[in-house]
Structure 1
């Protein structure tokens, strides 16, 4: 099931991939340069998280159904919940390694609930947990990309995407902090907690000092 959802996420990542076969997806990925591939991996990871979340909601025993919006760039939300044909709620999904993206979303869309991967949701009270871990999602995407025919670079690129995402998260955090929507103390607490083993305390201090 996971493999098919990852491939569906790749198909949703670009309009010209709608309905593409596995071989066509492999050919598309093989033509990307490393920087493009990092971007695709990051995008696919987020879409895969949305599809996993929707699948889990739709196989439980309640009367609520879930679906992703047709457009992957729908403003403010990724998934909507339906009961008896009526939309009752919408949420934004985040598969991230740091809380920076959570704070950025809340600054832009304070009234839209955010559901995040478990690592970040555990340390950011404003986010609900999706039931899926960021590490597992990254692992699934990396594995599927690695198994695509002709894609020998996928492992290095998928691993490199994690570091790139972390750097991008730091940049986003800087923008959010400068906007005044989140205090330095709030960010330092959440970012520091979630980044144990990923960013040293010294690096975090340097980041925050640079934002003073």
Structure 2
């Protein structure tokens, strides 16, 4: 199962409307200041799906580190006014005054405990997908290669694995077969039920 939702238009984000609800536990997972993007995440656990809730172009936020159940809705006009009064140093842009319907959307986060948190952002979206504990890319630390020697390499070696689903996963790309073989062996030892191979791919230089 894979579910993708992205909401960034005024006709999708009506004042007071509920837009997301889950009984599962979410954490404040990441914030990227350079792009003003916020990520709340619910790991797979026993239900084997992960849910990522993304906020794009965040202006201001008031959040908890964890939510035992997450309910997100669009703010009412009175809640919007309250947020603005609490953050007088922030300049808010109204989407109705934008030719392209861009501006600040006010999202209320309610965990059922009576408190109200909020995020003011341009858009919100979420992605629900299978989380089977798939490991990340395994890499090795190699010494820097002199630039003049790189012309000797006419191939790259891609380590592929089939261990956590019907589709293969790329675990690393290397300049030498020796490095790729080392990584393949590490993966095979760590995940004995999986199948890991090396794909030699020609590179134009």
Q: Choose between structure 1 and 2: higher strand proportion.
A: 2
- TM-score, scaled relative to structure 2: 0.26
Q: Choose between structure 1 and 2: higher helix proportion.
A: 1
Q: Whose radius of gyration is greater, 1 or 2?
A: 2
- TM-score, scaled relative to structure 1: 0.25
